[in-house]
Amino acid sequence: MLLQRKPYQEGVDKMGRYSVLWSLTKHKMMMECETKYVLNYYFAKRGEYETKPPLLQLAWRLKNMTNVYLLIGNQIHQEIESEIRTLFETGEFLNASKIKKALYKNIEGIYKKAERGFERWYKDPTANSMLFEIYYDSSRLKEEVKQFIRRKVDTCVDGFINSFTLNEKIYSGKLKIMESEKYRSFMLDGIKVNLSADLIYFDTDCNEWGIVDWKSGKESAFDPIQLSIYGMYAESTYGANINDLIVTNEYLEDGKNKSYKVDSSGFKEVKTLIKQSADRIMKLEENISVSEEDVMDAFPKAQNQKVCERCNFKAICLENYRDKHINHFLEGVGKNGRNKEVEMVEIELMRELVSNGMPVDHEVEVFLEESPYETEESHTYKVERFSEYLSRF
Ligand code: SF4
């Protein structure tokens, strides 16, 4: 089925032109692999519906799969946000061991749910979580991974408790917290720039605007870009003077604090990057009218194979994974009986036999030329027919 290309997503600029939605997360994924980008932002969403091909249904689940690093990072961010809110409400100093215990409990609850098996996640991925390490490596989280989680939680919470921002800024009682919600956006020449900053404050003591990001991971070359984007947001939303603006990364694991003054030349470079990146996004959007069954071949793939090792979508993108994972998904949702299972290699064998003159019904010849994953029904039907034929040889 050919899909109609929708004009660019929600949001229009002042002239009524459609805007493109841009974020640093999108940009990073696009730089890593354009196939991964289009699967994640366009095609996977279509797999929410049972009428869609199994490849897309599995893509939807893979998009929503987390991993140990993201899980720890998200939980730490949520806990810090909640602790800071409580601190402002009650004035009580924070307690490291209480925060650690809450994090162990929450993280353990999530990975234990994932360990209950794939079937629940296959059937309802929004209610049941899955971790990359469980899906691809083993059905239970390895002991060393559990120990890694505890160590990381411990060092990050200690990093937060000892951080400059908490001790010198938040405890000072001079901060006015500007917003509690996390997801924000601003317009830049018709591009809607989305961001997610952890803390935006105004320090009444020194008339300073501050934006803070708590980092549970290592330093990255993208960090200064991210901070400039936060600075642009504070300027465009609050009218913050660039000279009164300070942006900070708190590296919780390393216990390091890096603060920067933003400047207009830095803004200029980042604006150029955003515009170039948004242009590329628009070009990719022009190609999303490819049929769903052609998506895996329509976009450039990662140059660096190492990226594939940690990619959620390798189950459907890498040929040596695809059939096993799609068959397993279909079994998990009760659409593919084990006794009717046929591997892609058998379909390939069938194709070879037919091309070497093996007589089969014309209908089967046609099926062999088509993608078996065109629709769920056609996949199931083909699997059954091929199994019947193969059992005679
Ligand atoms: S497996 Fe590799 S090529 Fe395929 S989507 Fe992921 S990163 Fe891209």
**Amino acid sitting at position 330:** L
What separation in angstroms does the CA of 154 have from each of 41, 208, 305, 393?
Answer: 34, 31, 33, 60
Q: How confident is the model at residue 289 (pLDDT cuts 50, 70, 90)?
A: confident
Whether 243 shows a pLDDT value over 60: the answer reads: yes
Q: Whose CA is nearest to atom 2 of ligand 1?
A: 308
Q: Can you tell me whether residue 199 is helix, strand or coil?
A: strand
The larger pLDDT score, comparing residue 139 to residue 83, is at 83
Nearest-5° Cα angle at 233, 27 to 210: 115
**Amino acid sitting at position 59:** A
Q: What is the pLDDT of residues 59-112, one digit of tens each?
A: 999 999 999 999 999 999 999 999 998 998 888 889 999 999 999 999 999 999
| Contacts (Cβ under 8 Å, ≥6 apart) of 138 | none
Do 47 and 60 form a contact (C-beta atoms < 8 A)?
A: yes
| Contacts (Cβ under 8 Å, ≥6 apart) of 308 | 33, 302, 314, 317, 318
What HEC string does 112-152 produce?
A: HHHHCCHHHHHHCCCCCCCEHHHHHHCCCCCHHHHHHHHHH
**What spacing in Å lies between the alpha carbon of 30 and ligand 1's midpoint?**
11
Spatial distance between the Cα atoms of 251 and 138, rounded to a whole number of angstroms: 31
Sorted by where each starts, the structural domains of the chain and their CATH numbers stand as 33-168 (no CATH), 170-262 (3.90.320.10), 314-390 (no CATH)
Do 248 and 211 form a contact (C-beta atoms < 8 A)?
A: yes
Q: CA-CA-CA-CA torsion for 90, 91, 93, 97, nearest 10 degrees? A: 10
What separation in angstroms does the CA of 150 have from each of 107, 130, 147, 153, 325?
Answer: 10, 19, 5, 5, 31
270 CB within 6 A, ligand 1 = no
**136-146 mean pLDDT:** 91
Nearest atom in ligand 1 to 317's CA: 4
The mean pLDDT of the chain is: 85
Q: How many CB atoms lie within 10 A of CB 12?
A: 14
Mutate to test the pocket of ligand 1, among 313, 320, 321 (most ligand atoms within 8 A of CB): 313
pLDDT value for 351: 72
33 CB within 6 A, ligand 1 = yes
Do 217 and 73 form a contact (C-beta atoms < 8 A)?
A: yes
Nearest atom in ligand 1 to 314's CA: 1
| pTM for the predicted model, two decimal places | 0.79
35 CB within 6 A, ligand 1 = yes
**296-311 mean pLDDT:** 90
Q: Can you tell me whether residue 230 is helix, strand or coil?
A: helix
Nearest atom in ligand 1 to 311's CA: 6
Mutate to test the pocket of ligand 1, among 29, 317, 319, 320 (most ligand atoms within 8 A of CB): 317
**What spacing in Å lies between the alpha carbon of 33 and ligand 1's midpoint?**
6
What six digits make up the tokens of 161?
Answer: 């408790």
**What spacing in Å lies between the alpha carbon of 323 and ligand 1's midpoint?**
16
Share of the chain above pLDDT 70, in %: 82
Spatial distance between the Cα atoms of 393 and 384, rounded to a whole number of angstroms: 15
301 CB within 6 A, ligand 1 = yes
